[in-house]
Amino acid sequence: MNASNTQELCTPGAETRGQPKSPGKSVASLLNQAMRELAAQPNALFIGQGVEYPGVATYRDLEGIPMEQRLEWPVAENLQLGACIGLSLQGYLPISIFPRCDFLLLALDQLVNHLEKLEEMSRGQYKPKVIVRTKVGSKWPLDAGPQHTNDHAEAFRLMLTNVSVVQIASKDDIIPAYRQALESPRSSLVIEAL
């Protein structure tokens, strides 16, 4: 697909127009619902820091997901995404979780030079599908600092044309964004900017 298709997929709120909103549901409960929907796929694996052990904000979103679908990973972001690409080529649906958007920068080689280009480099022989999940850290009520609070969505959109970049800006976009990522034949980078 071309960049214009990626841009269309990234329009905040576009996926929810005409659909009922989520009154009364918290962001946390909607994220947990979205992760449970992904986990319903028998080949889904959740990989990253804080997927098996508490300590990062994304841990609580995985409540109710069986431990056999979670793989705790060391702080080795490039290796993590590379392993997810390999797992996808073996029939798994990796959900590669980076607790902060800033941390994903350490996996840019795998994201931009491999996940983005592998289908083209292999002349269509390999079509990896990975769902990359990340968050923009909050600055309120506690500012997590300049290495944990940046939103790199626009930079990713400029670098990626074969990986959909989806930014969640409202709680009403959570479920549609992850459903879109699941249903898409391509890989997706989902950035939670809530």
- Tens of pLDDT, residue by residue over 39-77, are 999 999 999 999 999 999 899 999 999 999 999 999 999
**Cα–Cα distance, 61 to 54 (Å, whole number):** 11
Residue of 4, 16, 1 whose CA lies nearest to 180: 16
At residue 20, the pLDDT reads: 53
Q: What is the DSSP letter of 159?
A: H
CATH code of residue 72: 3.40.50.970
Residue whose pair of structure tokens reads 């409202």 in the numeric block: 170
Query: 12 pLDDT exceeds 50?
Result: no
Q: Print the domain residue range for 84.
A: 3-192
Query: What would you measure as the largest C-alpha separation in the chain, in angstroms?
Result: 49
93-135 pLDDT per residue, tens? 999 999 999 999 999 999 999 999 999 999 999 999 999 999 9
Contacts of 51 (CB under 8 A, 6+ apart): 58, 59, 62, 70, 71, 72, 73, 97
pTM of the model: 0.88
Structural domains counted in the chain: 1
Query: 23 pLDDT exceeds 80?
Result: no
